[in-house]
Amino acid sequence: MNLGLKDSAVVVVGGARGLGRAIASTFAEEGCRVGIWDVSPGAQAAATELGGTGWRVDVTDDSAIRAATAETWAKFGAVDHVVFAVGIGSGKFGFPFWEIDPSVWARVLQVNLIGAAIVAHHFAPRLAERKKGTMLFLSSVAGQIGSQTDPPYSASKAGLINFSQCAAKDLAPFGVRVNCLCPGMIKTPLNRSVWRSWADRQPPETRTDYETWAADKIAKIVPLNRWQTPEDIAAMAVFLASDRAANVTGQTVNVDGGYVMHW
């Protein structure tokens, strides 16, 4: 893509697999120095494949985030771009919401929303001091439409959109941009878990396999009538970090085949 990002230092939180891995890989293709943070023990292996460095980090652990931030900054000299690509679901089918035990909410919110806030708390002052850089949070179309499929997940992603706007306002005077990126329908383990939680509640005569369920859902809700891919998300993430998006901050960008349209 040649977006002028060569030699920039990028940290992808949740970059060992899934969408985070695709984003980290695309930044590496742009010539960036990539750091991968992940709760998975595969963080270093994933980073090594991209010529970068990995840290095993739990985003709910404030002291671990503090230490990893300092280590990452020391390793790269400075960090230019931070991408928070972490997300978990409740594993429960949420319609109606009161059939979900309230106890499942805490973990989802702790990882998806509070984890993002903790990461931002440690990076934001350093970016502000340099008066440059970007932060990007991966939310979801579910955070905009009140998806009944998994209310804890939807609520956490809605909160993330709002937090990113707060962060964008706070960091704008320092020239630091903050945006939110919302994927649509993508073949990920999380997407498959949504199908599983649905299928487990269906009588045998109405239950369908994952591919049939997904194809039917896409036909009904995605105007372009096709899956979105990790590469689609990664391309937008890299673009938003580049100077070509120099006037884009506080925005919620949907890469969803037209699923969410506001008017």
Q: Tell me the pLDDT tens digit for each residue of 43-98.
A: 999 999 999 999 999 999 999 999 999 999 999 999 999 999 999 988 776 678 88
Domain spans, the chain: 9-184+229-255, 185-227
Average pLDDT over residues 239-259: 97
One of 37, 55, 153, 213 is an active-site residue; which one?
A: 153
The packing angle between helices 210-221 and 189-199, to 10°, is: 100
> In whole angstroms, what is the distance from residue 43 CA to residue 86 CA?
13
Q: Name the nearest CA neighbour of 55 among 18, 4, 94, 16.
A: 16
Query: Kind of pairing, strands 177-183 and 9-13?
Result: unpaired
Q: Name the nearest CA neighbour of 70 among 9, 133, 123.
A: 123
User: CA 16, 66, 237, 9 torsion: positive or negative?
Assistant: negative
pTM here? 0.92
The size of the chain, in residues, is 263
Average pLDDT over residues 243-254: 98
Check pLDDT > 80 for residue 262.
no
> In whole angstroms, what is the distance from residue 133 CA to residue 57 CA?
22
Residue 14 backbone dihedrals phi, psi, to 5 degrees: 85, 30
- pLDDT tens readout for residues 150-198: 899 999 999 999 999 999 999 999 999 999 999 998 887 767 777 777 7
> In whole angstroms, what is the distance from residue 90 CA to residue 75 CA?
35
259 belongs to the catalytic site: no
225 confidence band (pLDDT: 50, 70, 90): very high
Architecture of the domain whose range is 9-184+229-255: 3-Layer(aba) Sandwich (3.40)
Average pLDDT, the chain: 92
- pLDDT tens readout for residues 14-25: 999 999 999 999
Query: Are 176 and 199 spatial neighbours (Cβ–Cβ below 8 Å)?
Result: no
Check pLDDT > 50 for residue 263.
no
- What are the start-end ranges of the H helices in 30-150? 43-49, 62-76, 105-109, 115-130, 142-145
Of 26-30, 119-123, 141-145, 168-172, the range with the lowest mean pLDDT is 141-145
> In whole angstroms, what is the distance from residue 27 CA to residue 10 CA?
8
Average pLDDT over residues 223-245: 96
